[in-house]
Amino acid sequence: MEILPTDLQLYIDTHLDAEPDELKKINRDTYVKVLRPHMLSGHYQGRLLSMLSKMVSPKRILEIGTFTGYATICLAEGLTDDGFIDTIEVNAELEETLRHNFSLTSVEKKIRLHIGPAVDVIADFESQPFDLVFIDADKKNNLLYFAAILEKVRPGGLIIIDNVLWKGKVYGDANDTDTKLIRELNDKIAADTRVEKVILPVRDGILLIRKK
């Protein structure tokens, strides 16, 4: 879902760094073989995630919601030489696809895939704090995920939550359950004094959160 005008999005897309070949393949294969391919981050958002990761230069990243691994690979591009990303996917049917997609890249050995419910996996992580967290899973549990990971993020660490503008419905008259839950997430984080925050109108809306 793109919320920017088409001509503006096209202009932005022509002024990005090129999409790496392995990500082009994953993008194409996702649209051919996987249900709901629009869930993939894609070129524009992927380059943003890569740049944010490189700016943070994280040693440890957590991703909640792997899908076909596109964003995972983009985030891994910014890891330190000894860094790694833990990525959690609840759909076990995607495991074979994910391991294949990761094998196409130079960051494969930095990716640790976990299959299972995110809250259960997070509870088992050791005490070393995360430098960067990307939340892009089932939207109804975003507040639960935020609460579960905040104390596991170092001060100054970055949390990124996707789809917070929800096709523009959060600032319209829509009153369905999913829209109300995302409004609640945005409102509660806006009022949370433990973090700094800003929403970017990238694709379906990205919420950037910096832990104080």
Query: What does each C-alpha distance from 142 to 58, 117, 160 come to in angstroms?
Result: 22, 13, 11
Nearest CA-CA partner of 105 in 25, 211, 8: 25
Does any domain span residue 194? no
**Residue 15: pLDDT above 70?**
yes
Identify whether 211 is part of a domain: no
Write out the residue range of the structural domain in which residue 19 sits.
6-158
Residue 189 forms part of a structural domain = no
For residue 112, give the 3-state DSSP assignment.
strand
Please give the residue that has the higher pLDDT: either 52 or 126: 52
Mean pLDDT of 160-167: 95
132 touches 83 (CB < 8 A):
no
pLDDT band at 2 (very low <50, low <70, confident <90, very high): low
Residue 14 CA from chain centroid, whole number: 23
pTM of the shown model: 0.95
Task: Give how far Cα 49 sits from Cα of 130, 133, 147, 198, Å.
Answer: 16, 11, 22, 15
Chain segment 42-94, per-residue pLDDT in tens: 999 999 999 999 999 999 999 999 999 999 999 999 999 999 999 999 999 99
Name the pLDDT band for 125 (thresholds 50, 70, 90): confident
Q: What is the pLDDT of residue 7?
A: 92
CATH number at residue 77: 3.40.50.150
Question: Tell me, what's the pLDDT at 38?
Answer: 87
Decide if 119 is inside a domain.
yes
One DSSP character per residue, 46-114 reads HHHHHHHHHHH--SEEEEE--TTSHHHHHHHTT--TT-EEEEEES-GGGHHHHHHHHHTSTTGGGEEEE
Our count of domains for the chain comes to 1
In a domain, 179, yes or no: no
> Is the residue at 75 inside a domain?
yes
| Stretch 138-157: mean pLDDT | 95
Tokens of 125: 């992580």
For residues 14 and 103, give the distance between their C-alpha atoms in angstroms, rounded to a whole number.
28
Whether 200 is in a domain gets the answer no
Percentage of residues in the chain having pLDDT higher than 70: 99
Q: What is the pLDDT of residue 57?
A: 98
Residue 168 structure tokens:
């523009």
C-alpha angle 197/202/203, rounded to 5°? 135
> Is residue 173, in this structure, part of any structural domain at all?
no
**SS3 (DSSP) at 24:** helix
Which of 111, 208, 124, 129 is CA-nearest to residue 164?
208
